[in-house]
Amino acid sequence: MREQSFCLVLCVMMVCWDELDHHVVSHFRSYTYRYLINSYDFLNSSLIIKPSHLNYPYLINHPVKCGGRDGKNWDDVLLLLFVKSSPENFERRQAIRDTWGNESFVRSELGVSVRLVFAVGIHPDAEQRSRVQKALLQEDQVYRDLIQQNFVDTFHNLTVKLILQFHWKHTYCPQAHFLMSADDDIFVHMPNLVKYLQHLLSSQTGAKDLWVGHVHRGAPPVRIKHSKYHVPYDLYPWPSYPDYTAGAGYVVSGDVATKIYQATRLLNSSMYIDDVFMGMCAKAMGVSPQEHVYFSGEGKTPYHPCIYNHMITSHGHATDVRSLWQAATDPTAYRNSRGFMNNLYCTAVRVMLLCIPYYQNTYSCIAAFT
């Protein structure tokens, strides 16, 4: 009986070894490398970018979105919102325009200037490309907020979009105090974000050396071949990535955006995991990510007024952006969170919502107490 049990366990281990190796051995190696060795010297030596990676022509562009006509008269832009979107995702873009990305709302209600643009490539299906491109041109005639280059819009070209956003800011919106990179299924609590950014600008140190989001530290490359995020050894042989923020939504200050722009001109962009490539660029330029407990990871944040009072981003909102915007920005949502007893109540609610494993990919348990 014992022999049979042992054989059964051995068979299960053999079948699941790749998964066990990924989740146990790989993480052990990555954390050892990250916290004991912590050497990423290769970032400063190997990798010269090919010029062709930077020369995709613009199909749609708006050079004066941030002002700067004739190289002067730049508008005072607090935040440049760069949303990564797939060409066919019109409904998602429209929901963002109507809610948290609404430039007019931010100007009239929050008193600051933001600029919203969507980064897109060309449709990956050649048979649909002409129809989708026509629709994009019609959409842009109305909203004037699409930035498109002539690359195929696929997962493996996300790094191209990252390069696009930093090069576009450097060229066409250099005066923006902050740049936010976001997916088109993200929700941003714009009033809270603006308040946070204004606080940074008014601080003694100003808004310098800022790269803030949901930080991944000591993450290992995924070596399982069937995974969407598989990275082979010949592309990245090291056991740990540099620290990076979740690509769904993060913010950098203007000086950091300039440093990342410079790094993209030096480093090889063959790393197609854009979050990781961002980490590589930042590490090469001496920039470190900062954790903000109310920037979401891979999952949705729980819906509750006690959460709305603090939230910055939430991920995974393909269809419910409008309803969440209405609930999260409703002034009545905050009446029950003021005062000592209400603060105590909200802390208890956040503990119940955040300090359980189900929400571990959104906000950490620490967020319940801030």
Instruction: Please compute the mean of the pLDDT values over residues 224-251 and round it to a whole number.
Output: 92
Best CA proximity match to 147, nearest among 172, 125, 185, 121: 121
**Which residues, listed in sequence order, are joined to residue 81 by a DSSP beta bridge?**
116, 180
Alpha helix (H) ranges present in 203-320?
254-264, 274-284, 305-308
Instruction: Please compute the mean of the pLDDT values over residues 205-215 and round it to a whole number.
Output: 89
3-class state of residue 203 by DSSP: coil
Question: Which pLDDT does position 361 carry in this prediction?
Answer: 63
**DSSP-derived secondary structure letter, 32:** H
pLDDT tens column, 324-339: 999 999 887 666 566 7
Between 38 and 228, the more confident residue is 228
Tokens of 255: 């000086």
Taking the C-alpha atoms of residue 47 and residue 53, their distance in angstroms, rounded to an integer, is 13
Question: Which pLDDT does position 19 carry in this prediction?
Answer: 47
Contact 155, 273 (CB under 8 A): no
Write down the mean pLDDT value for the chain: 87
Question: Which pLDDT does position 89 carry in this prediction?
Answer: 98
**DSSP-derived secondary structure letter, 115:** E
pLDDT surpassing 50 at residue 7: no
Tokens of 281: 């660029």
pLDDT tens column, 40-60: 766 655 554 444 445 799 999
pLDDT band at 12 (very low <50, low <70, confident <90, very high): very low
pLDDT tens column, 180-199: 999 999 999 999 999 999 99
Taking the C-alpha atoms of residue 24 and residue 6, their distance in angstroms, rounded to an integer, is 21
CA distances, 90 to each of 62, 86, 139, 285, 296 (Å): 19, 8, 8, 36, 24
Most confident of 20-24, 187-191, 361-365: 187-191
Question: Which pLDDT does position 29 carry in this prediction?
Answer: 78
**Domains in the chain, start-ordered, CATH in brackets?**
2-36 (no CATH), 51-291 (3.90.550), 305-369 (no CATH)
Tell me the whole-structure pTM to 2 decimals: 0.89
Burial (CB count within 10 angstroms: exposed 0-12, middle 13-18, buried 19+), residue 347: middle
Going 147 to 151 to 153 to 155, the CA torsion angle's sign is negative
Question: Which pLDDT does position 331 carry in this prediction?
Answer: 83
Best CA proximity match to 45, nearest among 279, 268, 274, 273: 268
Instruction: Please compute the mean of the pLDDT values over residues 131-150 and round it to a whole number.
Output: 98
pLDDT surpassing 80 at residue 289: yes
Q: What are phi and psi of 140, to 5 degrees?
A: -70, -30
Helix (H) or strand (E) holding 342: helix 340-354
pLDDT band at 6 (very low <50, low <70, confident <90, very high): very low
Quote helix, strand, coil % in the chain, to nearest 5: 50, 15, 40
CA distances, 12 to each of 8, 27, 125 (Å): 6, 21, 41
Report DSSP letters for 144-210, one per residue.
--EEEEEEE-SGGGHHHHHHHHHHHHHHH-TT-SEEEEEETTEEE-HHHHHHHHHHHHHSSS-S-S-
Question: Where is average pLDDT lowest: 11-15, 143-147, 210-214?
Answer: 11-15
pLDDT surpassing 60 at residue 205: yes
Taking the C-alpha atoms of residue 279 and residue 244, their distance in angstroms, rounded to an integer, is 5
Between 47 and 35, the more confident residue is 35
